[in-house]
Amino acid sequence: MRQLLLDTETTGLDPRQGHRIIELAAVEVVDRRLTGAHLHFRVDPERDIDAGATEVHGMTREDLAGEPRFADIAQEFIDFARGAEWIIHNAPFDISFFDAEFARAGLPASSSLYARLTDTLALAREAFPGKRNNLDALCERFGVSNAHRTMHGALLDAELLAHVYLAMTRGQETLTIDMAAPGSRTAGAGRSAEEGLPARVITVRPVPVAADEAQCHRAYLDALQRESKSGCVWLAVEAQVAG
């Protein structure tokens, strides 16, 4: 499954009032792993930027002088994003801007491009009702470091969202494996119940864990410990072994 974590920065809040995209980014995840592939553009909006928007992302129209227009980069974005699942925090906001830009460039709407649309804000509100669910709050909740995020930026926010999404959708799975089907009985030492054939020997080989994966796993366990009323089973077992 190919997924793209997307984010935009804009000149204001409402594309119906003529506000435009000034920055966009898409970060690729395949089979729940960040591939390192991404797309990132800063865009000349061909209009002024609201002061309130500049306070959020720090960009002025002068900063974007000489950047391409959205129409100039639209096809490259479409080629990269077509057919993937789009994952966006507060998806209706970004999609409304994409659709306005596509319409202005004479291109089809976003719905013709993505295979599926997932709104992480909706997922977070369902999982954590009544709590703050903006990106900063979710980074804190899932142990994703955002200390370097002093201003909003499309690429940084898309990368943070990728880590948050992977943590938020990762389930605790049992490591208990039934080696025999329920109700089966061995026919004797070294024999299986199926026609008395020799039992199949399974060799388990340990898989080395990269340091960054171990760090992400520890952050996830710490988040489970904070959020679960009963605590995290793995940390409890770890404490018992250490004791």
Question: According to the model, what pLDDT value does residue 57 have?
Answer: 92
Q: Which domains does the chain have, with CATH numbers?
A: 2-168 (3.30.420.10), 211-242 (no CATH)
Least Cα distance to 127 among 228, 30, 218 occurs for: 228
Least Cα distance to 98 among 73, 131, 121 occurs for: 73
Q: Which residues pair with 234 in a beta bridge?
A: none
Instruction: Give me the phi and psi of 186, to 5 degrees please.
Output: -70, 145
Catalytic residues: 152
Q: Which two tokens stand for residue 212?
A: 């960054």
Confidence of residue 39 (pLDDT cuts 50, 70, 90): very high
Question: According to the model, what pLDDT value does residue 31 have?
Answer: 95
Neighbours of 31 (CB within 10 A): 8
Q: Strand 116-119 and strand 33-42: pairing?
A: unpaired
Question: According to the model, what pLDDT value does residue 7 have?
Answer: 97
Question: According to the model, what pLDDT value does residue 211 have?
Answer: 77
Instruction: Give me the phi and psi of 93, to 5 degrees please.
Output: -65, -55
- The mean pLDDT value for 142-160 works out to 85
Question: According to the model, what pLDDT value does residue 152 have?
Answer: 80
- The mean pLDDT value for 151-172 works out to 89
Which residue would you say has higher pLDDT here, 129 or 243?
A: 129
Q: Is pLDDT above 50 for 184?
A: no
For the chain, give the mean pLDDT: 85
Confidence of residue 140 (pLDDT cuts 50, 70, 90): very high
Q: For residue 178, what is the enclosing H or E element?
A: none
Q: Is pLDDT above 60 for 32?
A: yes
CA distances from 105 to 11, 64, 99 (A): 18, 19, 10
CA distances from 231 to 132, 142, 167, 223 (A): 21, 15, 17, 10
83 alpha carbon, distance to own chain's centre: 17
Lowest mean pLDDT among 44-48, 113-117, 157-161, 193-197: 193-197
Which residue would you say has higher pLDDT here, 98 or 233?
A: 98
The residue assigned the tokens 């018992």 is 240
Q: Taking the chain, what is the end-to-end CA distance rounded to the nearest angstrom?
A: 42
- The mean pLDDT value for 90-110 works out to 98
Q: Is pLDDT above 60 for 214?
A: yes
Q: Is pLDDT above 80 for 236?
A: no
Cα separation, 141 vs 234, in Å, equals 18
| pLDDT tens for each residue of 45-88 | 999 999 999 999 999 999 999 999 999 999 999 999 999 999 99
The residue assigned the tokens 């000349």 is 44
Q: Which two tokens stand for residue 221?
A: 């366990």
